[in-house]
Amino acid sequence: MRQASTQQQLTADSAAKTSQQIAAELFPIEANTECKPSTGLISTDRGRTIDFHNHLPTEEALWNLLDSVPDPEVPAVSVVDLGIVRSIEYTQSEAGQDDTGQEAPGYWQISITPTYSGCPATELIENEIRGALQRSGVKNYAIQQQLSPSWTTDWITDKGREQLRKFGIAPPAGDSRKPGIAADIECPRCGSNHHKKISEFGSTACKALYQCEDCQEPFDYFKCI
């Protein structure tokens, strides 16, 4: 176990330099103070910031912790800001077991929901969350996948939308409950709303491909579903 984690740390360290450099070049945005600390694009790069090895976390602290876990496909946004984490609550456990099968008086029940039925990152996100909890010393938790109510882009926070825009992805426009109404999509680079749709599907299932007719740049649009 010890060996495995040392190796993981080494890999993370060497990856950190590259992804930090890339991040600095590609996205020269000011350090994000809310979603701390966003030095790396990969969660393991962010290091251990919150330590619960010796005390029980509060619910708020856990939300903050998970807010430091980036979405693997859109690493500019955390799994909390994307609305993937649905609930965190402490449950007095009758079974008296946590996720690892150890004795515990209770456990944190964390519910997450997949974005798209076929999103290949679903398992990865669960693992990233598990990793963040373990690195911070949270022991008693159980992660469950919940399908209903089905995920909607309406759950993406304002902070998440702003981060998407800075990342070069136009955030979802409009209301998912009114799919027929044409949404006002803005180019994430120049803010223009003159654009054409290149394809209904972009680099991932959740995005469509557009091109701005003012600055001519192609951009991904996070579809409103």
φ/ψ region of 84 (left if φ > 0, alpha if ψ in -120 to 50, else beta) reads alpha
Q: Nearer Cβ to other proteins, position 102 or 216?
A: 216
**Cβ proximity to other proteins, 63 vs 201, nearer residue:** 201
- Choose the stretch contacting other proteins; rule: CB under 8 A; options: 5-13, 36-44, 46-54, 145-153: 145-153
Based on the shown chain and the rule CB under 8 A, indicate whether residue 223 belongs to the binding site for other proteins.
yes
CB of 117 to other proteins, least distance (A): 3
Residue 148: CB atoms within 10 Å: 6
- Amino acid found at 75: P
6/199 with CB nearer other proteins = 199
H or E element, residue 211: strand 207-212
For residue 195, state whether it binds other proteins (rule: CB under 8 A). Answer: no
The upper half-sphere exposure of residue 88, i.e. CA atoms within 13 Å in the direction of its Cβ, equals 19
Choosing from 26, 95, 190, 201, the residue that interacts with other proteins (CB under 8 A) is 201
Name which of 111 and 152 has its Cβ closer to other proteins: 152
Least CB distance to other proteins at residue 48 (A): 30
Cβ closer to other proteins: 142 or 209? 209
How many residues bind to other proteins according to rule CB under 8 A? 25
Report CA-CA distances (Å) from 115 to 20, 72, 96, 134: 27, 12, 31, 24
CB atoms within 10 A of CB 30: 6
Strands (E), 103-188: 106-112, 141-145, 169-170
91 binds other proteins (CB under 8 A): no
Which residues are near other proteins by CB under 8 A?
114, 116-120, 147-152, 176, 179, 198-205, 209, 223, 225
